[in-house]
Structure 1
Amino acid sequence: MATRIVHELKYDAPLDAVVAMLADPAFRNEVCVNQRATRHSVKIDGVQGDPMKVLIDYAQPTDKVPGFAKKFVGNEVEISQAETWTSPTHGDIHVTIPGKPGEMHGTAVLTEKDGVTTETVTLDITVKIPLVAGKIEGLIGKIFGSAMRAEGRTGVAWLAR
């Protein structure tokens, strides 16, 4: 059984500006820094709709992870996020934690109304650890929510420049 999370990011900018931001490696690097990644790499191939492929590999400290989960992840967790944007407004997302029994699958969808662009990210979190899967899925959801809020703040600042 998976845990579903939905997170909306609102940008006071037209769709084309948000599309350009998401396709910019400098923006993606800045997001990683603002999400407290201890190290990261960003690779973007193609352009949105071509399809554009985004691969972000990064490591996060686990200093804020509860003790019951720390024994599964250690002091740092490696994360690999792959996105395939088949159009400027739709991306498929697959997040893995190499060597750990958990992953996320979902989508990012961009919509614009009256010059405001909303990015809706929907992900299903699956952890394959008997007895504690639900707890860890919930924890991952909270951590992901925090990461999305950091991305949103970074995007607002980026678009205001």
Structure 2
Amino acid sequence: MIDWKQGGQMFHGTAGVLGYYGVTQQSADYRNGDGFLFELPAVKANGEVNDIMIDAHPEFDANGKQTNTDAFKYFTAMNDISESSIRGTSFVKLREIAVGYPVYQNSKIKVDVNAFARNIILWSELKGYDPEVSQGNTNMSGAFERFSLPGTSSYGLGVNIKF
């Protein structure tokens, strides 16, 4: 069984917080001392660059060489801007594969074997996270995720004996 959903957005709080605390691969890459460029345009309000982004923006010398690589300021600024954690929720999931095979059959007994795998592949913008997860018992509309548990995969084998 394959499931596909196109469109939608959610607040992916885990990404912002993990970047802020410096435990993502992206934050490690930014801390390596080689400098970095923003992956998103600066946030503007009334045509002016946001003060948070000015504090986080790397500085350049007269030759255009980057002189400040303060990734902490960048991720702090991004964590303070909730919209920076909005992600698309489109996905394709391979929800279940099941196979069965008759092994033995006579007039008194029938033996079948079967195997299944559930939730084994997910293609999504949220790498490592399930876009169907949601935080809170009353958040039935979804669209909010922060340290949600990942979907689990399950595998099984079975033998059916009918007599």
Please tell me the TM-score bracket, short chain as reference: under 0.3
Q: Higher helix fraction: Structure 1 or Structure 2?
A: 1
Q: Which has the larger radius of gyration?
A: 2
Q: Higher strand fraction: Structure 1 or Structure 2?
A: 1
TM-score (norm 1): 0.19
